[in-house]
Structure 1
Amino acid sequence: MTDGLSELDRELRDVARRVERRIDPGATAMVVSIAVLVLIGAFLLPWIGDVAGWRILVGGEWFGILPRLFTITALLFGVVGSALALGLRYWALAWVCAAGCGISTINGVWAVWSRQISVPQGGVGPSIGLVLALLAIVVLAATWARIALRR
């Protein structure tokens, strides 16, 4: 009799441990999905002058380290990390996305700032794609922080 109870107790502890590691984003998953789609669309739009974000990402154009760093962190944390966190629903991944999107937000602000400040007269500044990507990353950072802090 005690063997059955101890096995049931162990099984219940295992289930509780698995549940504690998971998140349920609920309706907030739709906000994350839309922000990821906006971010992907922003990579197709011009970021600096007429140059699209994906060209900066793959190194086709060089406008300094900050725009390139923002493209890399936005892709890694905003697109790939968010997709993994929504698919796997692990609490640790939600925290990684919250922190990574926060870092990417700082990189994005620096990228916009660097294009506005360090551009010589008549040079090209930030375009709509860069600003839209920054807004999408800000939404993702806030949303992932909200999901991660819910527990």
Structure 2
Amino acid sequence: MSESQTPDELSRLDAELAGIARRVERRIDPGVTAMVVSVAVLVLIGAMMLSWTGSARGWEILVGAVELGLLPQLFTVTAVGFGVVGSALALVTRRWGVAWLCAVGCGISVVNGVWAIWSRQIGVPEGASGPGPGLILAVFAVLTLAVSWARIALHR
């Protein structure tokens, strides 16, 4: 090997190592928190099957079969989008950006959920029912997801 080739080989090796370092930096290792995320996603899916208010279930609100107003429907969309789909995608890809998106999205969803509970308690006509166990359980599940994803994203 000649000496003129050695610097070229070293620069290629250096570029390859820098590329590997960048790929490693973009990945997360959720560790034990991945189990907490998985259980919270399952709880959220189960909460979609429970009563959210009166006889309306969460999945019915999600698909638009029951009209309860903007806030409960907004919460179902953000909870399923960030809490279920986003969490599954983040656990599979282990990308830092997706984990951060889940943390922020689930945080927004918690606010939407609290507003949805509030909307079922304030200004509801006489005889209408308030928030059901499914809605309250879904808010706690999304809160757990928001905290878990924030810990994972900030731990990197």
TM-score normalised to structure 1 length: 0.98
Uncovered stretches (5+) of structure 1, i.e. residues with no partner: none
- Superimposed CA distance per residue, residues 12-66 of structure 1 (whole angstroms, 9 cap, x where no aligned partner): 0000000010000001000000000000010011111111100000000101100
- Of 62, 66, 72, the residue aligned with 1:67 is 72
Deviation at 1:3, TM superposition (A): 1.8
- In structure 2, what is the equivalent of residue 21 of structure 1? 26
What is the number of equivalent residue pairs in this alignment? Answer: 151
- Superimposed CA distance per residue, residues 86-139 of structure 1 (whole angstroms, 9 cap, x where no aligned partner): 000000001100000000000000000110112123211110000000000000
TM-score normalised to structure 2 length: 0.95
Deviation at 1:2, TM superposition (A): 1.4
**Aligned: 1:102 with 2:104:** no
What is the Cα-based RMSD across aligned positions, in Å? 0.7
Q: What is the CA–CA distance in structure 1 between the aligned matches of 2:71 and 2:51, rounded to whole Å?
A: 16
Q: What is the CA–CA distance in structure 1 between the aligned matches of 2:67 and 2:135, rounded to whole Å?
A: 15
- In structure 2, what is the equivalent of residue 129 of structure 1? 134
- Of 75, 83, 91, the residue aligned with 1:86 is 91
- In structure 1, what is the equivalent of residue 146 of structure 2? 141
- In structure 1, what is the equivalent of residue 3 of structure 2? none
SS of residue matched to 2:141: helix
- In structure 1, what is the equivalent of residue 37 of structure 2? 32
**Aligned: 1:44 with 2:46:** no
Uncovered stretches (5+) of structure 2, i.e. residues with no partner: 1-5
Answer with 121-130 or 26-35: which moved more.
Answer: 121-130
Letter in 1 for 2:104: A
Instruction: Among all aligned residue pairs of Structure 1 and Structure 2, give the percentage whose two residues are the same amino acid.
Output: 66
Q: What is the CA–CA distance in structure 2 between the aligned matches of 1:125 and 1:116, rounded to whole Å?
A: 5
Structure 1 runs of 4+ off > 4 angstroms? none
- In structure 1, what is the equivalent of residue 124 of structure 2? 119
